[in-house]
Structure 1
Amino acid sequence: MSKEPLVLFSPLPPTRNGIADYCDCLMAPLAKHYDLFAVVANDATLPNTTDYQPLKLAEYEHRRAAFQSCAHIYQIGNNLDHPYMLPTLSRVPGLVTIHDMGLQHMLGLALPGGPAGSLYSDLMFDAYGSAGKLIAEDVTKWGWQSPIVHSELGFVPAFVRRSRGIVTHSLTGMLRVAAAGYDRPIYHLPHPYQDRVDPMAEDRETARRRARVRLDLPSDKIILLSLGFVTRHKRVDLTLEALSVLVSEGRPVVLVVAGQVSPDDFDLHFHVRRLGLEAHVIARGYVPDNLLMEYLAACDILVNLRYPTLGESSGSLANGLGMGCCIVVTDIGTFSELPDTCAVKVAVNEMTREGLLDKIVPIVCSSERRKRLEVNARKFAAQQLRLSTFIDGYLLAIDKTFSKNAKTPPVCAPVHRVRRLPKTARRKVEATASRLSREATTGHNLWWRSLMLPLPHPGDNLGIIGGGEFEVSLVKASFDWENVYLHDERNEKYRYYNALLVLLGGREFTLKYPDILKTIAKILPFGAILLLNIIDEDQSREDEAPRPFDVSELLEQYGFKTLDMENLSPEILEGAYKGRQPLQYSILAIKASNIISPPGSPYHEIYE
């Protein structure tokens, strides 16, 4: 019996990436159930395997048509090993595992222009509406971005909207995904530890002695371990400060740092020299995956601090629990979810040298306390974090997400390039309008005189609010639209449109715009086009009439980005359109966010 195809996007070994190592453990089990294709970046090295079919992105794109109908799964993390998959994710939504709830770093580096660029601003608008765009503009104005943006505005909503389902490793992640407000299935699958931990964990002391010999680590010292990429938010600086006090008190302690150092982020060697700890810190740099477990086995205390946290789950922590390590964590985010019996937790307001010492000295001084924490950690991991349990849950998530009976949510609508008639077509359109109605030159006419209505793509639907049979006939005859409907809120059949033409009086818009714009936001999917034509016939009340730029700002608060704007002009009035005419303007906009923030309201709403 042939297996269903499954396409996976993720960094994979030999790429130096924790998610690559994590995903490597999943490949063989997934390949047993699916005809598995794994797509890596063009500049990555292909895995050497026969378990599945590795592809570079270029080859996937060459065979795109063959993969279009296949189930796609994505592994998203907050570094530059992941941007290559973003265009495919937008085009082919799938089951997305979000490893980091803060993805600002990755997108800020990947998007042209960075956080000061227009694409970043557009994505902030996509994820957080007009408030997100306003925050993005701060970078352009001041050249600086608050760290709070990274921890609290991590672009999770943008990824949830582009998915068919979300996998998260923590309750913290599950709550953040749910808070995005989109109707997507969420699967909470705790981060597993690797199976090769089990043989070493069965005899912890023997594994510790052997690992220290193999790694050439001292056998007579209490070893603190910092594992993984050395970054500021892992607070290695704080661990070094505490270490300097322990050493000055004569404690037999050394710190092993097994992870790639990035001096631009945190200059480990500078701080070691500053504190005079050269004899008490062993820096091993990047450690290949096959040695990670050896370092976990060798340590006495795994220090896994995070502050601030970006909502990430830690693979080294999961493996440390599986190994039965005595662990110290910051009591924040996903790390708070650990049972108190399994880890020593340092509260955020205790993240000082003295606060860390208060927590770490008792376990440095007591092998019994360390042993008790080791036993509890191993027991918890054996019950909750086994890889086989995770695989079962992941396979079930894939099956539910892509089953024929699964609810398919409205995903990212294609954002087509807006195509419009050339200016040379104006006289022909005017002639058609005059033929269709003697009153064509009065009332709402700027939208067609200025050729603002985009041309359709195959299968597109156009809705009309405020118009009648004349508008229906004109857009069919002059703008090539075939599927045109006068919108009726009682008729759900044509509720969603690719484009919407709205014709309103200025006074009506002024009095009713909250309800009008909310209705428009509801019936248009992401990427749809809005053409709003407003005519103000009562020019004696010009001070009350809505102005184009005011309306454009209002549209932004309801999720629309203005593409073009047209006022009455002598060029348009030339010819048959004579005399004193009412104020009239057209605004062409695209729905670029599902988040609406009504003026004066402290809350936002989501319309998808």
Structure 2
Amino acid sequence: MADSVFSKLFEKIGTLIGRDPNEPHRPFSLQEVQQILHQHHDALLELYGVPIEELRARQLRQRILEDTSSAGNSLCNPHTTERVFAGDWAIFTPLPPTASGIADYAAELAPSLASRLNAIYIIADDAPTPEHFGFPFERLSEWKSNQERDRATPRLYHLGNSHIHEYILQEAMQQPGVVVLHDWVLHHLFEQTMLRRSDSDTFRKLAVEHHGPLGEVIADLAERELSGDAFRFGLPMTAPALQNAKAVIVHSFESMYRVRDLLPDIPVQRIPLQYSRSTDCEETNASDVRKRLGMHPDRLIFVALGLATVQKRLDSLISTLAAIKEQIPPFELWVVGELPDSLGLRELTIESGLANHMHVTGRVDMNTFQAFIDHSDVVVNLRFPSAGESSATLIRAMGAGKPCVVFDSGSALDYPGDSLVRIPIEISSHAGLANALRSLACDENARQQTGSAAANHIAKWHAVDQCADAYANFMLSVTTERDEPSR
């Protein structure tokens, strides 16, 4: 599907800006292509990305419905109540204080895994030293210095789409193990890892091997630092990362089906993201907590959680709130995370007349992060295009009983319709977002009902001990299968 889409995308480039009438057949240079992509990024996404994502969502929704409606299907009951011991494992993952959601995830899961397997955690040689972790860890070079132990210990790889996973990608491609695939799209990781090492030949080889002629075009763009997100998200580069995988763990139905379709012979298990509160709510007076956090005690609080990126569509949120601000109660918008200047969102806030409404916290500790969730009214969690990730911040917000607004696609389809407010994917138009925010802002009962349904669902399916049981059972099955004599 991606090949045909991007072939059409290249054809559309000429239509968007018009060809030179004196040279109608002249091919565009790579620099011209990049300039056009920057100028028309949103238009190209809307023309091709949105319809394809909507088609995927329809197909995904149907597959989930068929699977979960089958009698006795394990997808209806993804957790297990059986306690097993999975043996010794080396878990390759970033850990806090590395600024990574996957680092936080692995650290939160560690206490529950501790009674189910013997784990030693392997971090990068240049990673910051884990703080208050409480479980054994070693740096990569230290771990690999004992070759006998290294060969004898099964491996679990937490793999995500950022450069901090470079050492994990290299190990996973060299030595078989169980891969926890946090992001379906790994193009950014491969590009950053290989081109940073000036290994463009390997990047080109893998791109061509897994994406054909279009992969060669993208490799050319990447090598010259001309590639854009439209290409990166369209060409996931997932297969080479999983070529040595003994098994794969994913967090969403979407990723599970994609792995099955791509590599049907590799076992894949969907284990939902666990939910565990980072802190108990010790302060009971909401006004006092809001005052401490800097929130207005009586205004409606919208929050966007985590590092702001283009994909989180904060520009859409700001523009929409500006358009409806006279139609809803007095409000504040809090960005609980970092807001890069390169996004131009502070300027947009001023232009939109929301300068006195928006506040940015920067990166905060987990207790403060949880407090902002607990004392918000509406959480907006938009992601497009998506790398196929399941949002840990969304799980936190739902678990805390907050109504969340999401795009109707990808991992958002894992959750019941009454537990979220799902809207169509929009780029230039914000009608769906405006309707959702206006309805929630003006209807406290709707907020409470949606939040309650969210909290109930997360409590039932995302409890950390259930997730740890699922990990241990699946990891044990993989090592047992490995140890069985061949027939």
Q: TM-score category by the smaller chain? A: 0.7 to 0.9
- CA displacement at 1:140 relative to structure 2: 6.3
- CA displacement at 1:6 relative to structure 2: 1.3
Q: Are the counterparts in 1 of residues 423 and 433 from structure 2 also a CA contact under 8 Å?
A: yes
Q: 2: CA distance between counterparts of 1:328 and 1:341? A: 11
SS of the residue corresponding to residue 328 of structure 1 reads strand
Taking structure 1 as reference, are residues 351 and 100 closer, same or farther at Cα in structure 2, changes over 3 Å only? farther
SS of the residue corresponding to residue 96 of structure 1 reads strand
Instruction: For residues 9-63 of structure 1, give each alpha carbon's deviation from its aligned partner in whole angstroms, at most 9, with x where no partner exists.
Output: 1110111111111111111222323332111112212224574211112212323
SS of the residue corresponding to residue 390 of structure 1 reads helix
Taking structure 1 as reference, are residues 289 and 48 closer, same or farther at Cα in structure 2, changes over 3 Å only? same
Q: Which of residues 85, 88, 91 is equivalent to 2:168?
A: 85
Pair 1:297 & 2:374 matched: yes
Give runs of aligned pairs for residues 111-122 of structure 1, distance below 5 A.
111-112=194-195, 117-122=200-205
Pair 1:192 & 2:274 matched: yes
Pair 1:98 & 2:176 matched: no
Which is worse superposed, 164-173 or 289-298? 289-298
Q: 1: CA distance between counterparts of 2:485 and 2:467? A: 24
Pair 1:262 & 2:345 matched: no
Instruction: For residues 372-409 of structure 1, give each alpha carbon's deviation from its aligned partner in whole angstroms, at most 9, with x where no partner exists.
Output: 11111111111111111111101111111112556799
Taking structure 1 as reference, are residues 254 and 89 closer, same or farther at Cα in structure 2, changes over 3 Å only? same
SS of the residue corresponding to residue 290 of structure 1 reads helix
Q: Are the counterparts in 2 of residues 258 and 284 from structure 1 also a CA contact under 8 Å?
A: yes
Q: 1: CA distance between counterparts of 2:221 and 2:156? A: 33
Match for 2:372: what amino acid? Y
Instruction: For residues 534-566 of structure 1, give each alpha carbon's deviation from its aligned partner in whole angstroms, at most 9, with x where no partner exists.
Output: xxxxxxxxxxxxxxxxxxxxxxxxxxxxxxxxx
Pair 1:232 & 2:232 matched: no
Q: 2: CA distance between counterparts of 1:377 and 1:361? A: 20
Equivalent residue number for residue 525 of structure 1: none
Structure 1 alignment gaps of length 5 or more: 410-492, 494-608
Match for 1:234: what amino acid? K
- Structure showing the higher helix proportion among its residues: 2
Identity level (%): 24
Pair 1:392 & 2:480 matched: no
Taking structure 1 as reference, are residues 3 and 238 closer, same or farther at Cα in structure 2, changes over 3 Å only? closer
Equivalent residue number for residue 27 of structure 2: none
Q: 2: CA distance between counterparts of 1:137 and 1:373? A: 45
Q: Are the counterparts in 1 of residues 272 and 462 from structure 2 also a CA contact under 8 Å?
A: yes
Equivalent residue number for residue 497 of structure 1: none
Equivalent residue number for residue 281 of structure 1: 358
Taking structure 1 as reference, are residues 177 and 211 closer, same or farther at Cα in structure 2, changes over 3 Å only? farther
Q: 2: CA distance between counterparts of 1:407 and 1:255? A: 57
Which is worse superposed, 114-123 or 37-46? 114-123
Taking structure 1 as reference, are residues 139 and 346 closer, same or farther at Cα in structure 2, changes over 3 Å only? same
Instruction: For residues 231-287 of structure 1, give each alpha carbon's deviation from its aligned partner in whole angstroms, at most 9, with x where no partner exists.
Output: 0000000000012123344631111001122333x2332322332322100100112
Equivalent residue number for residue 398 of structure 2: 321
- CA displacement at 1:208 relative to structure 2: 4.7
Q: 2: CA distance between counterparts of 1:278 and 1:143? A: 35
Q: 2: CA distance between counterparts of 1:284 and 1:307? A: 23
Q: Are the counterparts in 2 of residues 108 and 115 from structure 1 also a CA contact under 8 Å?
A: no
- CA displacement at 1:351 relative to structure 2: 6.8
Give runs of aligned pairs for residues 544-559 of structure 1, distance below 5 A.
none
Taking structure 1 as reference, are residues 340 and 406 closer, same or farther at Cα in structure 2, changes over 3 Å only? farther
SS of the residue corresponding to residue 33 of structure 1 reads coil
SS of the residue corresponding to residue 403 of structure 1 reads helix
Taking structure 1 as reference, are residues 261 and 406 closer, same or farther at Cα in structure 2, changes over 3 Å only? farther
Q: Which of residues 42, 64, 67 is equivalent to 2:150?
A: 67
SS of the residue corresponding to residue 379 of structure 1 reads helix
- CA displacement at 1:137 relative to structure 2: 4.3
Higher relative contact order, structure no. (Cα contacts within 8 Å, ≥ 6 residues apart):
2
Q: 2: CA distance between counterparts of 1:141 and 1:84? A: 21
Give runs of aligned pairs for residues 73-222 of structure 1, distance below 5 A.
73-112=156-195, 117-128=200-211, 130-131=212-213, 133-139=215-221, 144-145=226-227, 147-196=229-278, 200=281, 206=284, 208-209=286-287, 211-222=289-300
Instruction: For residues 72-114 of structure 1, give each alpha carbon's deviation from its aligned partner in whole angstroms, at most 9, with x where no partner exists.
Output: 1011111121112222212221111111111112221121358
Equivalent residue number for residue 41 of structure 1: 124
Q: Are the counterparts in 1 of residues 119 and 136 from structure 2 also a CA contact under 8 Å?
A: yes
Q: Are the counterparts in 2 of residues 350 and 356 from structure 1 also a CA contact under 8 Å?
A: no
Match for 1:224: what amino acid? F
Equivalent residue number for residue 361 of structure 1: 438
- CA displacement at 1:187 relative to structure 2: 0.6
Equivalent residue number for residue 417 of structure 2: 340
Q: 2: CA distance between counterparts of 1:37 and 1:184? A: 25
Match for 1:242: what amino acid? T
Q: 1: CA distance between counterparts of 2:482 and 2:196? A: 42
RMSD of aligned Cα (Å): 2.8
Taking structure 1 as reference, are residues 69 and 351 closer, same or farther at Cα in structure 2, changes over 3 Å only? farther
Equivalent residue number for residue 36 of structure 2: none
Which is worse superposed, 77-86 or 144-153? 144-153
When the two structures are aligned, how many residues end up with a matched partner?
403
Structure 2 alignment gaps of length 5 or more: 1-84
Match for 2:303: what amino acid? L
Q: Are the counterparts in 1 of residues 91 and 119 from structure 2 also a CA contact under 8 Å?
A: yes
Equivalent residue number for residue 97 of structure 2: 14
Match for 1:23: what amino acid? A
SS of the residue corresponding to residue 405 of structure 2 reads strand
Which is worse superposed, 315-324 or 210-219? 210-219
Equivalent residue number for residue 567 of structure 1: none
Equivalent residue number for residue 30 of structure 2: none
